[in-house]
A and B are shown apart, each in its own frame.
Chain A
């Protein structure tokens, strides 16, 4: 009777998992070892039997039902329906574009500062309707009125 290591070695030989050197050794020993020959033949036979009679099974659901569940999951996990992706594509461009447009509107409608020269040598800059700045070059002062 062979030990576990020898048996696993013979199995590895049948499975083509031995090194070239070890394979040659096993092949050289086989003709004189009837037990080994029997095991090798049995393992090969069993492998062929299983592989050529692989159990089969049919999906226990109609094609439509099986596919509809897959499609639902695909759509749920990756919302890529053509209509949805087109809409998303537009949104991707639309949002930044709207942002830029809003900034442009603010800038263009902002009141241009008006400067008023005063008799005392100062300037009044009308920044907007709610604030006025007085700057006196001679005195080196700037005063802000916030209304």
Chain B
């Protein structure tokens, strides 16, 4: 007669849960989803700037993660692995909507027409004195003011830690374009955060 062992899923490490999930244990997988769902959703939301799409793609990412679970060998953390899946889904969608590669004439001009003009250099400590949560919210707001193309390179570089070459490959643009988009995006962010400082001091 088979003996059923009841696991204490919440107290187990990701590595153990992944191992069990790889053997078909959906409860272990559910625990992983519960543990990392906010992070995966947040990344999708940052990329898409749309709650419905973020919800949809984050769930799709989990489905794909389950289907590809045997391929996960632990080279990165499980959360990082699923984050890459959701990023790829978002990139596919942005590409389909032509939101990453094709930008408006204005945006293209920003990239190629002298990134140094108009915007100030990032200022040291532009947000001193802000509460952490408020600061997070304002950074999110500033990211939301970037175009999809500019925000994508910031997300991939700053939050995912990808190198220029890897970003170029994933987005389907040249390394030079990655560099100019990143530079423009940073200056724009610095500008937006600087105006926040001015706004507070008034």
Contacts and interface: CB of A to CB of B under 8 A. Distances in A.
Interface of A: 1-4, 7-8, 11-12, 15, 17, 38-39, 41-43, 45-47, 49-51, 53-61, 63, 66-67, 69-71, 73-74, 77-78, 80, 82
Nearest to A60: B51
Interface stretch (B91-99, B101-109, B175-183): B175-183
Nearest to A7: B116
Nearest to A46: B122
Contacts of A73: 59-60, 63
Does more than half of chain B's interface fall in helix, strand or loop, or is it mixed?
helix
Given A66-B37, A67-B30, A50 B189 contact: yes
Nearest to B115: A4
Given A7-B183, A46-B122, A63-B34, A2 B55 contact: no
Interface of B: 24, 26, 30, 33-34, 37-38, 41-42, 45-46, 51, 54-55, 58-60, 62-63, 66-67, 114-116, 121-127, 132, 135-137, 139-140, 143, 154, 157-159, 163-164, 179-180, 182-183, 186, 189-190, 193
A51 B159 contact: yes
